[in-house]
Structure 1
């Protein structure tokens, strides 16, 4: 019902400004990450585009500057599949930036063939969850000092088809690329819930979201029949600019100041799956993530 109601709601728009604010967006060189960067740059924010491929990142930076009319845009190297890169990026931000008001955990890999990150995680859970978990952990003190601040993690409705396989988080016993993707997107929703609890009273709020079915590079790993289905449904899908709207909404909508830990779709609160509200599993995943990275959250 929520989805049908959202179809008939007026499109969300806001003239909210972000002058003097600093924003980090992971995976900002393409798709909804790039569109989010353009919009928030237009609102006056300093944009830090965190990109794995610096050549593509620099090309995208030019585009963001041209489209937004803002020169306050930088591109920095970040490979979420490698903790060395994550630590180097976070160190550069912590040393070089006096504040970080908005962190958008946007980068993702989708239904890719089985592979592992530099740290031995299955690629989808490794990039989509563990990489962003470590990044957020390393930046959290700066984010807290910059409060009011927001942490936004791009999930997907695919989270509702997933389950967290705590006994085989890296899909080593069996690998189904769709299941592994859904697991990683469910992890995004659970991470946001757990993070919200730990940030109560700090002035830092956190949100997860479904951007919509968006035409992006993430489709490149779909097989022939899946590609054909996507072509058929493409008139009902969103382009990258439309897909970025809920990320932008979570970044700037003033009324969300009083909300934290929730899930959004079509620029409105949405219902996540029952698994996405399982706080016991969320805590187990949190503990496992801390153990995997040998970190503790204060």
Structure 2
């Protein structure tokens, strides 16, 4: 790999001066590490967060570690389409260009609940909120040379199925099943977005962190948490696939990055494969149409 003997690390991130990056869920965990690394390399980073107090604390930490870092806050609750629309409007008013949109925020295997709009929480937050945000910001990305949309998926996509007959898990709910569906949706969205971006300067890329010690795992059953912890890696390492997808000049649209170690649970970031279901163009188009209908956002690609 480029830049180091061990593998691609944050030291391989090219200079980001002059670039504007929006990172969702950036106040903690993987999002925080992603935002910190981009700010350290000179990017103007917008922490798009639900809790502004936690966001301010994260921004203070970044600036303390990297004096002169350009960090700002944007209130964003991906579980509320009203909040997504308001955030997009404020971001558009503030920025004429947008180089990076990193769809990082997520909910993992939570007990069943619904978003403000009545969507199942994991699908609504992980997929539909990001689908709407991307659509509402896409013209800013399209008008910015070499811009990227990076969406964070998960190894969990492998046990996911898009249940079009029960998309909101109203008839039957399992934490793992709903999470897998949402993470599979992230990949179907990325690949379909890339198809629609062909011929433009903007690309769509996906990444996953492997097993990373973030707050996301707090809803896992105890025995699963124990197994998870034996293979997990730090959030700094877990953020590297996202950072590579966002900044490596050799990345191509429609690619998927994850850890290169055992079972993709840990290790330095490399190009990885997603499962066959994630590459079903018919399912991707159908999910796209349903997502537009549910969110009321028509993505102009």
Please give the TM-score of this superposition, normalised by the length of structure 1: 0.93
Contact 2:136–2:299 (Cα < 8 Å) also in 1? no
Deviations 1:206-240 (A, max 9, x none): 11111110011111112333333334x1xx31111
CA distance in 2 between partners of 1:77 and 1:294 (Å): 21
Q: Which residue of 2 aligns with 1:37?
A: 35
Contact 2:13–2:244 (Cα < 8 Å) also in 1? no
CA distance in 1 between partners of 2:155 and 2:82 (Å): 31
Cα–Cα, structure 1 residues 70 and 228, in superposed 2: closer, same or farther, change >3 Å?
same
Residue number among 150, 155, 165 corresponding to 1:152 in the alignment: 150
Residue number among 235, 248, 255 corresponding to 1:262 in the alignment: 255
Q: Which residue of 2 aligns with 1:165?
A: 163
Contact 2:40–2:69 (Cα < 8 Å) also in 1? no
CA distance in 1 between partners of 2:30 and 2:282 (Å): 32
CA distance in 1 between partners of 2:8 and 2:228 (Å): 26
Contact 1:41–1:70 (Cα < 8 Å) also in 2? no
Contact 1:39–1:68 (Cα < 8 Å) also in 2? no
Following TM superposition, where does structure 1 have runs of at least 4 consecutive aligned residues deviating by more than 4 angstroms? none
Q: Secondary structure at the match of 1:189?
A: helix
Provide the aligned C-alpha RMSD in A.
1.4
CA distance in 2 between partners of 1:10 and 1:46 (Å): 29
CA distance in 2 between partners of 1:201 and 1:38 (Å): 32
Mark the runs of 5 or more structure 1 residues left unpaired by the alignment.
Answer: none
Contact 1:50–1:77 (Cα < 8 Å) also in 2? yes
Q: Which residue of 1 aligns with 2:114?
A: 116
Contact 1:105–1:151 (Cα < 8 Å) also in 2? yes
Q: Which residue of 2 aligns with 1:10?
A: 6
Q: Which residue of 1 aligns with 2:177?
A: 179
Q: Which residue of 1 aligns with 2:262?
A: none
Q: Which residue of 2 aligns with 1:284?
A: 286
Shift of 1:68: 2.7
Whether 1:141 aligns to 2:143 is: no
After TM superposition, the structure 1 stretch with the greater mean CA deviation from structure 2, 128-137 or 270-279, is 270-279
Q: Secondary structure at the match of 1:173?
A: coil
Residue number among 271, 295, 298 corresponding to 1:293 in the alignment: 295
Deviations 1:225-258 (A, max 9, x none): 3333334x1xx311110001011101110111xx
Shift of 1:15: 4.6
Contact 2:258–2:272 (Cα < 8 Å) also in 1? yes
Shift of 1:294: 2.5
Contact 1:111–1:180 (Cα < 8 Å) also in 2? yes
Whether 1:246 aligns to 2:241 is: yes
Q: Secondary structure at the match of 1:255?
A: coil
Mark the runs of 5 or more structure 2 residues left unpaired by the alignment.
Answer: 260-268
CA distance in 1 between partners of 2:298 and 2:135 (Å): 9
Q: Secondary structure at the match of 1:152?
A: strand
Aligned residue pair count? 286
Q: Secondary structure at the match of 2:74?
A: strand
CA distance in 2 between partners of 1:85 and 1:70 (Å): 30
Shift of 1:201: 1.4
Residue number among 217, 220, 237 corresponding to 2:218 in the alignment: 220
Whether 1:273 aligns to 2:275 is: yes
CA distance in 1 between partners of 2:68 and 2:217 (Å): 30
Shift of 1:82: 0.3
CA distance in 1 between partners of 2:291 and 2:28 (Å): 28
